[in-house]
Amino acid sequence: QVQLQESGPGLVKPSETLSLTCAVSGYSIRSGYWWGWIRQPPGKGLEWIGTIYNSGNTFYNPSLKTRVSISLDTSKNQFSLRLTSVTAADTAVYYCARRTFGVPFDPWGQGILVTVSS
C-alpha cells in the first residue's frame, strides 16, 4: 500500500529556510494523484500549506504564498516543501499526504515536528 514519510531538520533558526521532503513508496508520483503539505502547531488545529499535482501545477495557501514552494522529484519518487523566512509561528508538526479530485487527504505521513528557534 502507499506510504508517505517526511524527513528533514527538526530545528530551524529564525529567518532561515525550512526544507522538508516526503518520500513516497508503493506508488509512482508521476502516475497521478495530488500531493500536499499540511501543518499543525502544537496543541492547535490543521492548516493546509499547499498541493502539487503530478503535472507540476501548484496551489498554495494565500497566507503563506510569498514564502512557500512545493516541488516534485520524480527520479526519487518524492516531493518537497520549502518555507522561507521562518519565525516561531512556523513551529509545527508538518504532514505530507496524498489526495485527488473528489477524495480527501489519504494516506498521511506520520508527521515531523519542526521547531523554529535560535
Partner 1 sequence: DIQMTQSPSSLSASVGDSVTITCRASQGINGWLAWYQQKPGKAPKSLISAASNLQSGVPSRFSGSGSGTDFTLTIGGLQPEDFATYYCQQYNVYPLTFGQGTQLEIK
- Tell me which residues touch partner 1 (CB under 8 A): 36, 45-48, 51, 59-63, 95, 97, 99, 102-111
Closer to partner 1 by Cβ: residue 16 or 48: 48
Give the C-alpha distances (Å, rounded to integers) separating 102 from 10, 41, 92, 99, 108: 33, 27, 27, 8, 17
Whole-number minimum distance, CB 61 to partner 1, in Å? 5
C-alpha span between 67 and 87 (Å, rounded): 11
Closest CA to 23 of 6, 2, 43: 6
The label of the residue with cell 508538526 reads: 93
Closer to partner 1 by Cβ: residue 67 or 99: 99
Whole-number minimum distance, CB 28 to partner 1, in Å? 21
Whole-number minimum distance, CB 15 to partner 1, in Å? 25
Closer to partner 1 by Cβ: residue 78 or 98: 98
The grid coordinates listed for 43 are 496543541
Closer to partner 1 by Cβ: residue 3 or 74: 3
